Amino acid sequence: MKQNTQNGNALFFILIAVVMLGLLTMILSRGGSNTEQTGDFERNSIMLGQVMRYAKSVENAVQEMRLRDISENEISFENSITSIDYTNPNCDDASDRNFPRCMIFDVGGSGLSYRNFSGANDGSDWIFTSANNVGTTARPIGTTTAGSGNDLIMLLPNIDAALCTQINRDLGVGTTGTIPAETTGIDTTEFTGSYPSASLIVLDGDPTPFELDGQAAGCFTDENASPAVTYFYQVLLAR
C-alpha cells in the first residue's frame, strides 16, 4: 500500500512538471513573438525616419534653388544612378559655366547625393515627375489647373506595405492601418523641365473621402496599374 502511495505521489509530481514545462514554453514563445514584433517596429521606425529625412532634404534643396532665382523649369534631377535619364536641357546651358547650380545631385548645385532605399522597397529607383496634381479642387496642395497647377513630386515605388502603413499613421494620412487606393491611376513621366498640360491627373486617394487631399507626403496604392504599385510620395514644389 505504501509503495502504491509513493508511486501515486511520483506520478503527481511528474504531471506538475509537465504542466509547468508547457506553461514555460508558452511564455517564452509569446515573449519571442513580442520581441520580434518590437524589433520589426523599431526597424520600420528607423527606415521611416531615413526615407522621410531624405525626401525632405530634396524638397528643401528645391526650395533653396527657387530662392536663388532658379526657375521651376530649370531644376534638374540628373544623376548617374537611375535607369531613367533626368537630364534637363533647361539646366544644361553651355553659355553658363555655372549651370550645375540648378542640379539637385551635383556639388555645384544643392550638393545632395542620390540615394536608394533597398531596405524600404525592392530597390527600385526614386521617380521625379511633374505630371500630376496632388489633392482635389476642394483641397489641393497648390491648384488643380492642368499644366500650371501640376506639382513636382518624388515617388518611391514598391515600398513595403508595413512601412507604408506606419508612414501614413505617423503623418495622419487616411484611415489608421490602411493604405489609400488611387483607382484612376497616376502619371510617372520623368521631369525634364516641363509640366504637362495635355491632361489633368489628380493624385487624391480616390474614391471618396480623397484621403490624400491637403497631404504633402504619404503612401498610396495605384490600383489602376497592373500589377498594383504602392508608392511613398513627397511634394517637392506645390504649384
- Helix 161-171 × helix 2-67 angle, to 10°: 70
Q: Check residue 92 and give its pLDDT.
A: 76
3-class secondary structure, 153: strand
Strand arrangement, sheet containing 202-203: 181-182, 217-222, 229-237, 151-157, 127-134, 202-203
Predicted confidence band of residue 218 (pLDDT cuts 50, 70, 90): very high
Q: Check residue 95 and give its pLDDT.
A: 57
Asked if the model's pLDDT at residue 127 lies above 80, the reply is yes
What percent of the chain is predicted at pLDDT more than 90? Answer: 59
Domain of 107 in residue numbering reads as 2-237
Q: Check residue 16 and give its pLDDT.
A: 77
The domain tally of the chain equals 1
Rounded to two decimals, the pTM is 0.80
